[in-house]
């Protein structure tokens, strides 16, 4: 269970809050046990028809215990869920931070649905170990011991018998439950991840899968994963059924033992008839605590499997800078220089080789080549997200890969083709680039990228919610919005990956405005694109061939004169 304890430590559960949850939970269940004992005494004593004043204290105690049971259970829920929810929030924060710091190749190797399952359901399962695992076991131990002591105060032998039956219910039942849960979890954890990944793939890429003919294959994989999940659940049903039967069996044994020991003690005068009722009926309530242990044990098993997956995500290798970066020049103006650069993902052959470029303030470079040749890999390397396979990259004399994320963001802004739009307002999406963006600045940049009419048509303007990943906007509007966010970044170098992708009307004009500096505000700009319209505004154009090498480079006019660009380009 070492993985589970490691994950629980990541929750950073405050000891004081955990103790408070155990105390309130124990007090709530102790009220239930006390209610059963006092009620048994009251009923038995009332049958003897004593004066009513003899029953007054017991009557008040029954009412008090009945009320306190509900109140204390409510307080226990508040305390335990406060502990769990705070812990889950901290664990998710750590996971997101770890993913942000991890090597890009390690993160991109994970399926989106699998990451969603780990930061969602798996973190919930680790947090559940507090509410449904550790705290119930602690409460059961306290209340079971208290119940056995209470019965033992009347008849020691009956107290020992109750303790033995409680140990049976709290030992054999959880063991069988754990067997069932382990059989189900070990076989179903991968199936659940496959179900999550397949569902996300189908929902996000239904159109592309339909066009390529892969939708049937993906839905068949989803059906297979669901069938494996059902078989794993069925395989665990028999030991789970036996586990469920242990508590009634142990309860019955405890009551029979109380009768077998209590009746002779009553006839011998060692136990009063009223006390016999307490000894026989109290175990019925005491087993309420022991009944929580099997499910708590199951929660431990499920949380352990989830903890393994969470810890595996936490163990993603961090991006290690090669060496401490030197101090930035006092007059850093935003100059990007790459020399002898070869780009590629770690562990794979280089995608691009022989890249040399230099771009300074107010200058632009357009990199053009077929899809899949490695243009995005080039930008990721220039941004410092990937280490160069060979050669060097410097921004104002600094290696961007050697900077921490905050410093790198002040030098380089990277607009990825698959950049995310968050489920929040237009303004807050723009503030991802810079937290102090004002409404006036946001309005101005949206108009600059051609979204003025779109903004005017929004029901709440900048405060309009965009939905998950901008589901309510078109592809072109989404692209312009992401471009506006990149333009608001404080960085002096802009790296733009297909900035006019999905943009129809005005795409050539938008690309030209980026390349001629009118939109970039005097910053250095590197654009990768497959479009040819608008390239005339670039200071230099680098043409890549299908092998990942530089085919030609020069100004737009020089490449046209050499016949490497068509005389008439279209967007």
**Residue 111 domain flag:** yes
Residue in 384, 379, 441 with CA at minimum distance from that of residue 411 = 384
**Residue 381 domain flag:** yes
Residue in 161, 92, 97 with CA at minimum distance from that of residue 120 = 92
Lowest mean per-residue pLDDT among 60-69, 124-133, 169-178: 169-178
Among 281, 314, 347, identify where a domain stops: 314
Unique residue bearing structure tokens 């393994």: 308
Identify the pLDDT of residue 272: 87
pLDDT for 314-342, tens place per residue?
A: 877 666 544 444 555 544 678 999 999 99
Taking 60 as the threshold, does the pLDDT of residue 379 lie above it? yes
Taking 70 as the threshold, does the pLDDT of residue 182 lie above it? no
Q: Where are the beta strands (DSSP E) in 189-286?
A: none
What are the backbone dihedrals phi and psi of residue 465, each rounded to the nearest 5 degrees, phi first? -80, 135
Taking 50 as the threshold, does the pLDDT of residue 189 lie above it? yes
Counting every residue, how long is the chain?
571
**Residue 218: CB partners within 8 Å, gap ≥ 6?**
198, 201, 202, 209
Identify the pLDDT of residue 199: 82
**Residue 331 domain flag:** no
Same domain assignment for residues 285 and 342: no
428-449 mean pLDDT: 92
Same domain assignment for residues 205 and 236: yes
Looking at per-residue confidence, does 442 or 293 come out higher?
Answer: 442
Identify the pLDDT of residue 427: 93
DSSP 366-377: EEE--TTSSHHH
Identify the pLDDT of residue 112: 64
Among 314, 348, 380, identify where a domain stops: 314
pLDDT for 9-43, tens place per residue?
A: 778 878 888 888 888 888 888 888 888 888 888 88
Same domain assignment for residues 103 and 217: yes
Provide the token pair at 173: 């039942």
493-497 and 364-368 strand pairing:
unpaired
Unique residue bearing structure tokens 């794993």: 232
Whichever domain contains 533, its CATH number is 3.40.50.300
Q: How far apart are CA 101 and CA 478, in angstroms?
A: 27
Q: In what order do the strands lie in the sheet with 550-554?
A: 412-415, 493-497, 524-529, 364-368, 540-544, 550-554
Q: Report whether 552 contacts 558 (CB < 8 A).
A: no
pLDDT for 526-555, tens place per residue?
A: 999 877 778 888 889 999 888 888 889 998
Which residues span the domain enclosing 518?
Answer: 336-561
246-272 mean pLDDT: 88
Same domain assignment for residues 351 and 207: no
DSSP percent split of the chain into helix, strand, coil, nearest 5: 65, 10, 25
Q: Report whether 20 contacts 79 (CB < 8 A).
A: yes
pLDDT band for 439, please (50, 70, 90 cuts): very high
Provide the token pair at 255: 């009551």
**Residue 323 domain flag:** no
Whichever domain contains 101, its CATH number is 1.20.1560.10
pLDDT for 78-111, tens place per residue?
A: 888 888 888 888 888 888 888 877 766 666 666 6
Same domain assignment for residues 279 and 368: no
pLDDT band for 238, please (50, 70, 90 cuts): low
* SS3 assignment, position 531: coil
Domain count, the chain: 2
Same domain assignment for residues 292 and 364: no
Same domain assignment for residues 261 and 351: no
Give how far Cα 369 sits from Cα of 363, 485, 502, Å.
20, 25, 17
Q: How far apart are CA 187 and CA 236, in angstroms?
A: 10
Same domain assignment for residues 308 and 234: yes
Identify the pLDDT of residue 529: 86
Same domain assignment for residues 308 and 443: no
Identify the pLDDT of residue 40: 87
Taking 50 as the threshold, does the pLDDT of residue 422 lie above it? yes
Lowest mean per-residue pLDDT among 170-174, 238-242, 452-456, 519-523: 238-242
Q: Where are the beta strands (DSSP E) in 224-360?
A: 336-343, 352-359
Q: How far apart are CA 54 and CA 46, in angstroms?
A: 9
Residue in 293, 378, 303 with CA at minimum distance from that of residue 121 = 303
130-136 mean pLDDT: 80
Rounded to 10°, the helix 273-290/15-46 angle is 150
Residue in 449, 394, 399, 398 with CA at minimum distance from that of residue 426 = 449
**Residue 36: CB partners within 8 Å, gap ≥ 6?**
281, 282, 284, 285, 286
Lowest mean per-residue pLDDT among 36-50, 193-207, 397-411, 492-506: 193-207
Same domain assignment for residues 383 and 274: no
Q: Report whether 36 contacts 151 (CB < 8 A).
A: no
Mean confidence (pLDDT) of the chain: 82
Q: How far apart are CA 306 and CA 329, in angstroms?
A: 47
**Residue 329 domain flag:** no
Identify the pLDDT of residue 126: 82
**Residue 321 domain flag:** no
What are the backbone dihedrals phi and psi of residue 529, each rounded to the nearest 5 degrees, phi first? -160, 160
Same domain assignment for residues 282 and 394: no
Let me know how many helices (H) and strands (E) the chain has, helices first: 21, 9
**Residue 534 domain flag:** yes
Same domain assignment for residues 154 and 11: yes
Among 249, 282, 314, identify where a domain stops: 314
* SS3 assignment, position 391: strand
Provide the token pair at 429: 């999406």
**Residue 450 domain flag:** yes
Taking 80 as the threshold, does the pLDDT of residue 244 lie above it? no
């Amino acid at each position: 269970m070492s993985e589970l304890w490691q994950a629980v430590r990541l929750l950073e559960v405050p000891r004081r809050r955990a103790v408070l949850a155990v105390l309130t939970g124990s007090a709530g269940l102790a009220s239930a046990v006390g209610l059963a004992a006092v009620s048994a005494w009251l009923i038995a004593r009332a049958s003897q028809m004593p004066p009513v004043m003899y029953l007054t204290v017991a009557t008040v105690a029954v009412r008090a215990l009945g009320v306190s049971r509900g109140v204390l259970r409510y307080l226990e829920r508040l305390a335990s869920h406060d502990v769990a929810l705070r812990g889950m929030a901290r664990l998710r924060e750590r996971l997101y931070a770890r993913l942000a710091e991890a090597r890009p190749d390690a993160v991109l190797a994970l399926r989106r649905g699998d990451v969603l399952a780990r930061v969602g359901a798996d973190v919930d399962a680790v947090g559940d170990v507090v509410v449904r695992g550790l705290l119930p076991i602690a409460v059961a131990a306290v209340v079971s011991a208290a119940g056995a002591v209470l019965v033992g105060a009347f008849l020691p032998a009956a107290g020992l018998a109750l303790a033995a039956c409680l140990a049976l219910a709290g030992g054999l039942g959880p063991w069988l439950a754990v067997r069932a849960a382990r059989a189900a979890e070990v076989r179903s954890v991968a199936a659940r991840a496959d179900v999550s990944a397949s569902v996300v793939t189908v929902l996000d890429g239904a159109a592309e899968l339909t066009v390529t003919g892969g939708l049937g294959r993906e839905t068949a994989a989803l059906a297979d994963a669901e069938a494996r999940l059902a078989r794993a659940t069925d395989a665990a049903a028999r030991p789970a059924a036996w586990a469920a039967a242990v508590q009634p069996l142990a309860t019955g044994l405890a009551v029979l033992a109380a009768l077998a020991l209590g009746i002779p003690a009553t006839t011998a005068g060692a136990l009063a008839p009223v006390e016999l009722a307490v000894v026989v009926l109290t175990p019925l309530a005491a087993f309420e605590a022991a009944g929580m242990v099997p499910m708590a044990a199951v929660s431990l098993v499920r949380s352990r499997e989830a903890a393994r997956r969470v810890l595996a995500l936490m163990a993603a290798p961090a991006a290690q800078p090669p060496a401490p970066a030197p101090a930035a020049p006092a007059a850093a103006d935003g100059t990007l220089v790459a020399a002898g650069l070869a780009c590629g993902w770690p562990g794979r052959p280089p995608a691009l080789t022989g890249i040399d470029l230099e771009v300074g303030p107010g200058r632009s470079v357009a990199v053009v080549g077929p899809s899949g040749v490695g243009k995005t890999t080039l930008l990721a390397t220039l941004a410092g997200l990937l280490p160069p396979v060979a050669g060097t990259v410097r921004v104002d004399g600094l290696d961007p890969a050697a900077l921490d994320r905050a410093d790198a963001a002040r030098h380089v802004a990277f607009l990825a083709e698959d950049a995310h739009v968050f489920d929040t307002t237009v303004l807050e999406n723009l503030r991802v680039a810079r937290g102090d963006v004002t409404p006036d600045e946001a309005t101005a940049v949206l108009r600059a990228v051609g979204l003025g009419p779109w903004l005017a048509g929004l029901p709440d303007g900048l405060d309009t919610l965009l939905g998950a990943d901008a589901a309510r906007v078109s592809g072109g509007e989404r692209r312009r919005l992401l471009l506006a966010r990149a333009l608001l970044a404080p960085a002096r170098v802009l790296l733009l990956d297909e900035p006019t992708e999905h943009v129809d009307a005005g795409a050539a004009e938008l690309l030209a405005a980026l390349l001629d500096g009118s939109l970039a505000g005097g910053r250095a700009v590197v654009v990768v694109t497959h479009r040819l319209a608008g390239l005339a505004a670039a200071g230099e154009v680098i043409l890549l061939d299908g092998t990942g090498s530089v085919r030609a480079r020069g100004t737009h006019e020089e490449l046209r004169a050499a016949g490497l660009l068509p005389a008439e380009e279209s967007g």
